[in-house]
């Protein structure tokens, strides 16, 4: 049975946690109280709060280091992501809602990014997934996507490819880290799944 860590809490408490997270990790004074929270069913009870002009590279590299993060490219995400696609390049602050799942959504099993686009399903982008993972670890000291990988189908790389994010426990050759890789837009499996969003 999945535990909803936000059950019984009102949104003001959740927003206060996000404000404290940005203050402690990024030294940013935020006030999310005036930003619209999308209407949705209680199923989408986790919030992701994104500040103004806060892009993927800052979510990946900025702030106090909570754990090791690795990515497949030495270039800035801001240079390799198609910033005109989805919410990735959005400059104004906003809030999205997602399901309270530590692993990527089960009902996205075996759905490729192309299929998600054809079905017109709203999903999270790379910046949102990085913020969600950091926030949850900051609050609960637990990593999401330890058994699966979130396909960030709300983003795409210039020239094709879709970001994917997972927690990797590491081995003799590599340290434990959050790993950002990529997959093809037609690829699908039970391991690679997206996260539906309400925005």
pLDDT tens for the chain, residues 1 to 199: 444 554 444 789 999 999 999 999 999 999 999 999 998 888 999 999 999 999 999 999 999 999 999 999 999 999 999 999 999 999 999 999 999 999 999 999 889 999 999 999 999 999 999 999 999 999 999 999 999 999 999 999 998 899 999 999 876 667 889 999 999 999 888 889 999 999 9
Q: Return left, alpha or beta for 159; rule: phi > 0 is left, psi -120 to 50 is alpha, else beta.
A: left
User: Cα 52–54–43 angle (5° rounding)?
Assistant: 85
pLDDT, position 172: 62
This prediction's pTM: 0.93
């Amino acid at each position: 049975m999945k535990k909803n860590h936000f059950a019984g809490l009102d949104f003001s408490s959740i927003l206060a946690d996000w404000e404290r997270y940005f203050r402690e990790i990024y030294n940013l004074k935020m006030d999310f109280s005036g930003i619209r929270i999308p209407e949705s069913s209680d199923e989408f009870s986790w919030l992701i709060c994104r500040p103004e002009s806060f892009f993927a590279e800052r979510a990946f590299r900025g702030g106090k280091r909570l754990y090791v993060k690795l990515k497949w490219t030495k270039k800035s995400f801001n240079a390799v992501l198609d910033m005109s696609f989805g919410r990735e390049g959005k400059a104004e602050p906003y809030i999205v809602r997602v399901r309270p799942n530590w692993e990527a959504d089960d009902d996205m099993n075996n759905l490729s990014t192309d299929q998600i686009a054809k079905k017109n399903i709203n999903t999270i982008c790379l910046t949102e997934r990085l913020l969600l993972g950091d926030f949850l670890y900051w609050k609960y000291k637990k990593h999401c996507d330890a058994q699966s990988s979130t396909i960030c189908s709300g983003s795409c790389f210039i020239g094709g490819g879709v970001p994917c994010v997972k927690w990797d426990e590491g081995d003799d050759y590599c340290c434990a880290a959050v790993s950002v890789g990529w997959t093809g837009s037609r690829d699908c499996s039970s391991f690679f799944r997206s996260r539906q969003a309400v925005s």
